[in-house]
Structure 1
């Protein structure tokens, strides 16, 4: 390529680059204009929103403190020939919501055509829908022959802002074949609270007068149920013995054994359908927090060190199937300490009290005073004379008693166990204090004292 051709090619490239730079400058200018326009629009929107916020009326402000009561809940009977059954977990009659929405939770099991959606209707208009697709293993157990029973659940929050203060909502299910089947209705009554200051002052006054028991307060989820007792079984606190007493009182078929760590949603239907009277098992305090509000919460606690030793012995003799002789007890101390140091075993009794206080229980029994406390509980509940049968007594009891004595006499070992279980020690002391107060109250009542 000659020198002249090279110069011409370079000139062409420069001209092309110049054109592209010119275009880029135009694009940048348009982009800046668009950015300026967007900023003006956002500013205008902000001003408009601010003006709207300023114009909120007093009545609208008070609606922040709305109270919605579910005055009536009806499920249609008999069940339609197109459906196997249906149920509403929430809301329940008498339930109160302090917000502009109410929770609707339940299930529908159809026969031939699967149920796909629930319509919520007010004055002939559909105000909301809820898809039927949530997993309901509890329902599947009741209808094992129906494949879609596994996903028969629905849940939604019904918006109330556009509804009148007195409203009736009709619930109907839409089937896959487009059939519509009404199955229930809700009646709502909405009202506004007084001003926040008045509410606060009145709530302080009422709080001072009522007993300190969270389970006596109104909750969002009462269940119509016959459950009278909710008993939490902390391992090695005579829980099996207490369960047998519950069976004596209510019958085996009316005591629900909650030992499988199932979510509450999976057991509610079984509890309700079988008219269970007592729930007993290894579960955390808060599991049934929102359910069975009239039921009496009961728990048994034990001196932490002795409970831990008892639990250890149960582990090695029952689960590991080991047989220890008295000559081996001294050597077992190190194994016990290593086992007790596991995170999941430290302060084990306290782990049942997540976000709860011991005062929240209707009755706290002490294992060391088992017979005395059972007699007191029997009188409080109006139970007939019961036969106490001690269950889960340890294998090789003579060696076990020797092991307990040996471990407890080792001051260094016990101090270390106390240190890693300080919360349990404090909890047990609180339980003893509660028991003393209960006994003094009973003595004063009998003697006519104050």
Structure 2
């Protein structure tokens, strides 16, 4: 824990907080959040990773991440030099094992709207001369948000906010971490973020097909944010968790309480009828590596032998009814 100071209004606010890492997905209001973090923490306490060639990237990132490729040395120097916040256009996996996903945050945006915004940004600021269709068909621009969060248990993130609900998401983040990052509107291509770009029907259909995985991801994030808000309004705690896979023996997943160390009890239902409960205490090495909490002892399994195929199993938090990500899960034939 480290002492930090808030100086935006010329006074000092004592707050204790672990360092946070912000995955800045382009065109998701990340610049507004980054500037807000600069104002709260102080620019000297904000470390930046915007690529090895970017003038914005901090020297300790260039030296230890890109040149020496020594993540542990970076982490040691990061703390020693008093940094409290990391931001940048990096994939979450780059820093997950040193910060831990519970100390990582990001914002995601409606995938189609985000692509239009980024295209216009490239035309406006970088002289991009290709058509919109040529831009969104480039491999690098397909499912970009999803790829930046790939191989990460994102429901265990400190917070995955929504650009279209930026002020609400920021309030949740500030409340969770006892921060006062101010609400700013910076680097916006339009004055009103909530106004949707209009597309030709064929473009929208193709974009939806190309980015189907990311659209599903975005919908899941929206649903989980709804639950986070609902639980917060009644003084109950959010649980990060997901149903992850099925084999011939059962259905598997994980769940972890956000603010305490007790194991989560998962309720299993079929057609609205409760058929059992399981406690999430199984060991999951990947979740331990990514710093999800409880040393990775957050897994659960459900024996599915007695259920017919094509039935849907619902896995929810027993204490609140909050559904886990990927629930309900339709049982399929397995080899």
Normalising by the smaller structure, the TM-score range is 0.5 to 0.7
Secondary structure, counterpart of 1:276 in structure 2: coil
Aligned-residue offset at 1:269: 5.2
| Alignment map for 1:69-80 (pairs within 5 Å) | none
Partners of 2:165 and 2:30 in 1: CA distance: 13
Q: Flag the 1:294–1:283 CA change in 2: closer, same or farther, 3 A.
A: closer
- Indicate which of 276, 283, 307 corresponds to 2:114: 307
Q: Which residue of the partner structure matches residue 113 of structure 1? A: none
1:288 is displaced (CA, Å) by 1.5
Is residue 286 of structure 1 aligned with residue 82 of structure 2? Answer: no
Distance 1:321 1:418, change over 3 A: closer
Query: Which residue number in structure 2 is paired with residue 444 of structure 1?
Result: 234
Aligned residue-pair number: 205
Question: Partners in 2 of 1:294 and 1:423 — Cα distance?
Answer: 22
Offset of residue 227 of structure 1: 4.9
The 3 A distance-change label for structure 1 pair 336 and 401 is farther
CA contact (8 A) 1:358 1:431 kept: no
Q: CA deviation at 1:345?
A: 0.8
Give how far 1:255 is off.
Answer: 0.7
Q: Name the counterpart of 2:143.
A: 347
CA 1:382–1:268 in structure 2 vs 1: closer, same or farther (change >3 Å)? closer
Aligned to 2:218, which of 419, 424, 428?
428
Q: Equivalents in 2 of 1:237, 1:401: separation in Å?
A: 12
* TM-score for both structures, normalised by structure 1: 0.42
What are the residue-to-residue correspondences of 1:15-164 with 2, within 5 Å? none
Q: Which runs of 5+ in 1 are unaligned?
A: 1-225, 323-333
Match of 1:389 in 2: 184
Name the CA distance, whole Å, in 1 between partners of 2:121 and 2:204. 19
Structure 1 runs (4+) deviating above 6 angstroms are none
Question: C-alpha separation between the residues in 1 aligned to 2:128 and 2:105?
Answer: 32
Please state which structure has a larger fraction of its residues in helix: 1
In 1: Cα distance, 2:197 partner to 2:147 partner: 27
Once the two structures are TM-superposed, the CA of residue 441 in structure 1 deviates from its matched residue by: 1.1
The RMSD of aligned alpha carbons is: 2.7
Correspondence 1:358 to 2:167: no
Distance 1:380 1:289, change over 3 A: closer
How far did 1:401 drift?
10
Instruction: Indicate the residue corresponding to 1:248 in structure 2.
Output: 39
Structure 2, unaligned runs of 5 or more: 1-16, 53-64, 237-318, 321-335
Deviation at 1:340, TM superposition (A): 0.4
Residues in 2 aligned to 1:406 and 1:291: alpha-carbon distance in whole angstroms: 41
Aligned position for 1:234: 25
2:84 alignment counterpart: 277
Larger RCO, structures 1/2 (Cα 8 Å, 6+ apart)? 2
Higher Rg: 1
